[in-house]
Amino acid sequence: MKNIKDIEVDFDELGDFLEKNRKERMEFVKYWANYVKTHPDSDWSSQQNVVIDSQM
């Protein structure tokens, strides 16, 4: 097993990951906004409430 002091961090790789992750999230935001736009309010809100109500 690698010693904790020997761990190397590739910031280029992490930077690429962050950018990719950001793009993927934005794609999902677009997908979901279109879902909200094209489905009945009761449909999307019952799904969204799972996310919101879980915090409460």
Interface residues with other proteins (CB under 8 A) are: 22, 25-26, 29-30, 32-34, 36-37, 40-42, 44-49, 51-56
Structure tokens at 22: 């950001």
On whether the CB atoms of residues 37 and 28 are closer than 8 A, the answer is no
Q: Which is nearer to other proteins, 4 or 51 (CB)?
A: 51
Q: What is the chain's length? A: 56
Closer CB to other proteins, 3 or 54, in the complex: 54
Query: What is the Cα–Cα distance from 27 to 46, expressed in whole angstroms?
Result: 22
Closest approach, Cβ 2 to other proteins, in A, equals: 31
